Amino acid sequence: MKLAGKTAIVVGGGRDIGRAVSISLAREGAKVVVNYNNDDTAAQATVDDITKAGGDAILVKADATKMSEMEKLVSAAQNAFGSQIDILATVAGGMVARKTLDEMDEEFFDWVMRLNVHSAFFAMKATVPHMKEGASVINFASQAGRDGGGPGATAYATGKGAVMTFTRGMAKELGPKGIRVNAVCPGMIATSFHDRFSKDEVREKVAGMTPLRRQGAADEVGDVVSYLASDEASFLTGVCLDVNGGLLFS
């Protein structure tokens, strides 16, 4: 229970990796605010699983691409668990679609940036004023942010690369206040993201190229987030931690 007594907000915490992050934080004792925007059923199931296991969690619907909605999310967290926020995980994001340069228009590119970059900025902007020394932010980047992504994923990869740079800049800015800011960079994790955007044969090929010879599991990413949020990682900040089974070293 290394996070006992702490309050955590998980932006995009209702399903897939976000669900795993929410459950892992709760298992370690954190009171978890599970944020979602679209999938009511999955998000409610995540909260139900936490509470059935004896954890403490609430569900808050809010759009991470809007600053006003992130402010509403923080207010809901404070109303439920008190004014101080100890942990923020910004899981929300997405590829939207695979598009080449010829296929992308301004509206598409702007939306991918808003979904992946603005969401992290809005979440931190709303939450950090309510954090104190010892607090931790874990942003979500991607292996794509390091290697440019697969075919048609350039906009997504660009956004995740920006999240990595944003994380490093915030680590420098907030370090003197005792607030740590890190990011995780998942590789091929078996989730609905890849069910939608990656062909089975591609996933099998990537798994075969990975030193551990498999895809990752969402729970494995969730446990990395709990570690980064804990005092066990007290001298880590500005780190963009790869979770990819050894496929890409940085």
Per-residue confidence (pLDDT) for residue 194, from 0 to 100: 65
Report in angstroms the alpha-carbon separations of 191 from 93, 141, 149: 14, 16, 17
The answer to whether 22 and 103 are in contact (CB under 8 A) is no
Per-residue confidence (pLDDT) for residue 122, from 0 to 100: 98
Instruction: For 138, list phi and psi in degrees, rounded to 5.
Output: -125, 110
| Burial class, 200, CB count within 10 angstroms (exposed 0-12 / middle 13-18 / buried 19+) | exposed
Per-residue pLDDT of the chain (250 residues; tens, 9 = 90+): 999 999 999 999 999 999 999 999 999 999 999 999 999 999 999 999 999 999 999 999 999 999 999 999 999 999 999 999 999 999 999 999 999 999 999 999 999 999 999 999 999 999 999 999 999 999 999 999 999 999 999 999 999 999 999 999 999 999 999 999 999 999 989 876 666 666 788 888 888 889 999 889 999 999 999 999 999 999 999 999 999 999 998 8
Buried b (16+ CB within 10 A) or exposed e, 90-118: bbbbbbbbbbeeeeeeeeebebbbbbbbb
Amino acid making up residue 94:
G
Instruction: For 228, list phi and psi in degrees, rounded to 5.
Output: -65, -30
To the question of pTM greater than 0.75 for the whole model, the response is: yes
Q: Output the six-digit token pair for 101.
A: 């340069």
| CATH class of domain segment(s) 7-243 | alpha beta
Residue ranges of the domains in the chain? 7-243
